[in-house]
Every structure is written in C-alpha cells, then in structure tokens.
Amino acid sequence: MRELVRTNDVVLMSAVGALLDGANIHHLVLDSNMSIMDGSLGVLPRRILVHEDDNLAARRLLTDAGLAHELRDND
C-alpha cells in the first residue's frame, strides 16, 4: 500500500475518495476514527492509501483533477 494523501480536511478526503471510486481505484482510509483521540477537533490527519499497482493511476487522476499539490511524496 502507498500513501496518496494525508490531510485533516474532510472535504478533500471526500473529494479524493469520490474521484478514486469513480475511477474504480480501491483505496483505504486510515485514522478516520482518530477524532476520538483529539476530541473531534480534526487535528490528527487522515490518510488515503492505494495499492502499489494503482499508485501511478491514482496520482495521475488527482493531478488531472488539480490536486497534485495534495499528493504525498512518491518515494
């Protein structure tokens, strides 16, 4: 699994999830329940991961959608 996006912006998370769903790219959202730890303040970022095989397609999709600045480094 490769980390695609890390953010505490729930609107961005929803948009990225919708784009990935629309392209039939399976993804996993981690840390979505961490709000219990931060008192629902949204301080702790959530992460979207994709399978290694889908990483390039997902990055291209988000870049085409104007979200390249939100992508994590592809190391």
Neighbours of 57 (CB within 10 A): 14
Q: What is the mean pLDDT of residues 46-71?
A: 97
Phi/psi of residue 46, nearest 5 degrees: -100, 155
Crossing angle (nearest 10°) for helices 10-22 and 55-64 = 120
Q: Which of 1-5, 9-13, 36-40, 48-52 has the lowest mean pLDDT?
A: 36-40
- Could you tell me the CATH superfamily of domain 2-31+46-69? UreE, C-terminal domain (3.30.70.790)
Per-residue pLDDT at 37 exceeds 90: no
The pTM for the full model equals: 0.84
The residue ranges of every structural domain in the chain are 2-31+46-69
